[in-house]
């Protein structure tokens, strides 16, 4: 009992410190370009903002896409026969200049810091190939991430993503806001799952499917999402899907131990060789 009280007091103190830090840092936030203000405002309202890499127009985009194409050519192709539960193939590409340079573009950092409201940490980049699956498991279950109080993931589609490629899908924040009944019903279901996540059938009992937002889009689609606040998942697919995930939290995050996977040896790290970059000549490389 005493342990529970002590841990609740600790939690309360840490929440107060967090609120004070947000208040203090509000005056130090980096300037935002007008077009980026819309991204931050939409993130605050809906938890997600969808755009395209061309629309974003960052200087290092061409290099990023070239490097991604080279790395993808080294990954194993999907056998499109659906398997019950096949894990995605993930490479940590944080140490490869072209990826970290894009992730550290000044405009992106300003967007993330204005959203998170505190000094930020860019943890790294995963290049990810998701395979056909017939069962919901892992990140195919509806869940919320738990690295920090606010997290930004920037997802870049490297291939066209239609319904059968298993798009990123989410429930808009406005339908599950903190003081709504839905928030507590979902929280209860997540708790029952041991926070692993819930299946489509369970979510349908709270939020009808017509309100779920599926992020289909062509290669180059970019999704900004707060994966802590927004209930989300990847949908079941019959065709493979290739993506990049850039990950940011406050510095330090609430759960630093969950953030090391974006730069440590949890996943393999491919080496970029310049010859391969030069050899890469298809349209998307030069997009
Ligand atoms: O695969 C997806 O679209 C979602 C992945 C996910 O849940 C995450 O990275 O937090
Ligand atoms: Fe997630």
How many angstroms does the Cα of residue 283 sit away from the middle of ligand 2?
31
In the prediction, which pLDDT does 284 show?
30
Q: Residue 287: which pLDDT band, with cuts at 50, 70 and 90? A: very low
Collapsed DSSP state (helix, strand, coil) of residue 57: coil
Closest-lying ligand 1 atom to the alpha carbon of residue 235: 3
C-alpha distances in Å from residue 78, one per residue of 131, 160, 245, 264: 6, 15, 19, 26
Task: Count other Cβ atoms within 10 Å, centred on residue 231.
Answer: 28
The upper half-sphere exposure of residue 221, i.e. CA atoms within 13 Å in the direction of its Cβ, equals 21
- Quick one: how far is CA 32 from the chain centroid? 21
**H/E run at residue 182:** helix 181-192
**Helix 106-116, helix 34-46: angle, nearest 10:** 40
Closest-lying ligand 1 atom to the alpha carbon of residue 167: 3
Mutate to test the pocket of ligand 1, among 212, 232, 240 (most ligand atoms within 8 A of CB): 232
Collapsed DSSP state (helix, strand, coil) of residue 91: strand
In the prediction, which pLDDT does 2 show?
80
Q: Residue 278: which pLDDT band, with cuts at 50, 70 and 90? A: very low
CB 283 within 8 A of CB 151: no
Taken in order of first residue, the domains within the chain and their CATH numbers are 31-276 (2.60.120.620)
In the prediction, which pLDDT does 132 show?
93
Report the pLDDT averaged over residues 82-93: 88
Mutate to test the pocket of ligand 1, among 125, 138, 155, 225 (most ligand atoms within 8 A of CB): 155
CB 93 within 8 A of CB 269: yes
Nearest-CA residue for atom 2 of ligand 1: 234
Q: What is the mean pLDDT of the chain?
A: 92
Residue 21 has pLDDT above 80, yes or no: yes
The tens digit of pLDDT for each residue in 27-37 reads: 999 999 999 99
Spatial strand order in the sheet of 232-234? 213-215, 168-170, 232-234
**DSSP summary character for residue 196:** S
The residue ranking higher by pLDDT, 63 or 274, is: 63
Dihedral of CA 120/52/49/225: which sign?
negative
Give the Cα separation of 160 and 113 in Å (integer): 29
In this structure, the residues whose C-beta lies within 6 A of any atom of ligand 1 are: 130, 139, 145, 153, 168, 227, 232-234, 245
Task: Count other Cβ atoms within 10 Å, centred on residue 225.
Answer: 23
Return the structure tokens found at 285: 């490389």
The tens digit of pLDDT for each residue in 113-138 reads: 999 999 999 999 999 999 999 999 99
Which pTM was predicted?
0.92
Give the Cα separation of 222 and 184 in Å (integer): 30
Give the Cα separation of 152 and 250 in Å (integer): 9
How many angstroms does the Cα of residue 96 sit away from the middle of ligand 1?
22
DSSP bridge pairs for 161? 217
Q: Residue 285: which pLDDT band, with cuts at 50, 70 and 90? A: very low
Report the pLDDT averaged over residues 185-201: 96
């Amino acid at each position: 009992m005493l342990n529970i009280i002590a841990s609740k007091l600790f939690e309360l103190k840490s929440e107060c410190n967090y609120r004070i830090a947000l208040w203090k840092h509000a005056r130090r936030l980096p300037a935002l370009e007008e077009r980026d203000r819309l991204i931050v405002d939409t993130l605050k309202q809906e938890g997600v903002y969808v755009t395209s890499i061309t629309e974003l127009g960052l200087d290092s985009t061409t290099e990023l896409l070239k490097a991604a194409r080279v790395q993808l050519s080294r990954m194993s192709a999907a056998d499109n026969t659906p398997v019950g539960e096949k894990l995605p193939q993930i490479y940590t590409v944080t140490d490869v200049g072209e990826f970290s340079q894009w992730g550290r573009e000044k405009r992106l950092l300003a967007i993330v810091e204005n959203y998170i409201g505190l000094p930020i940490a860019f943890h790294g980049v995963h290049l990810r190939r998701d395979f056909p699956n017939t069962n919901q498991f892992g990140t195919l279950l509806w869940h919320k991430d738990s690295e920090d109080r606010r997290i930004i993931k920037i997802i870049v589609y490297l291939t066209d993503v239609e319904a059968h490629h298993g798009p990123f899908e989410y429930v808009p924040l406005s339908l599950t806001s903190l003081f709504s009944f839905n928030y507590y019903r979902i929280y209860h279901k997540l708790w029952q799952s041991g926070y692993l996540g819930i299946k489509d059938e369970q979510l349908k009992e709270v939020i009808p499917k017509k309100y779920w937002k599926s992020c289909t889009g062509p290669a180059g689609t970019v999704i900004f999402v707060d994966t802590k606040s927004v209930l989300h998942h990847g949908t079941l697919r019959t065709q493979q899907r290739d993506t990049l995930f850039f990950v940011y939290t406050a510095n330090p995050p609430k759960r630093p131990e969950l953030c090391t996977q974006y730069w440590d040896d949890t996943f393999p790290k491919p080496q970029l060789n310049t010859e391969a970059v030069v050899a890469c000549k298809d349209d998307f490389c030069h997009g």
